[in-house]
Amino acid sequence: MCIFCKIAAGEIPTHFLYESEKVVAFKDLNPEAPSHVLVIPREHFENAAELAAVDSATLSELFGAARTIATFLGLDGYRIVFNTGASAGQSVFHAHLHLLGGRAFAWPPG
């Protein structure tokens, strides 16, 4: 079982900022911004592309959860990132949405 499957299953004690039947959200271990939250499907998909192909409703729910969390955290602007594939910086191969906020962000991203 992958690390995010264990977190979603409650095998690793983790505070969920948001949870539903299909998704959970928790703080990133290595935050890149004052607010850095990961929103993941409970079910294992390798990345966002696989999730989009198989279960677009849950992909949509990740965005809805991010919006709810951003409002809860009082973020007036935020960035959503899906690193998809190792060359794009993906290091955990369980689909996850990064919600980043609380500072200004440069464009283009590095």
Please report whether residue 90 would count as binding ligand DGP according to CB under 6 A. Answer: yes
User: How far is the C-alpha of 9 from the C-alpha of 16, rounded, in Å?
Assistant: 12
Nearer to ligand DGP, 26 or 58 (CB): 26
Q: Which tokens go with 86?
A: 């190792």
Give, as ranges, the residues between 52 and 81 that touch ligand DGP (CB under 6 A): none
Spatial neighbors of 81 by CB under 8 A, at least 6 apart, are 97, 98, 100, 109
User: How far is the C-alpha of 70 from the C-alpha of 101, rounded, in Å?
Assistant: 8
Nearer to ligand DGP, 27 or 103 (CB): 27
- For ligand DGP, the binding residue among 1, 9, 29, 53 (CB under 6 A) is 29
Residues that bind ligand DGP (CB under 6 A): 3, 26-30, 38, 83, 89-92
The residues carrying an active-site annotation are 96
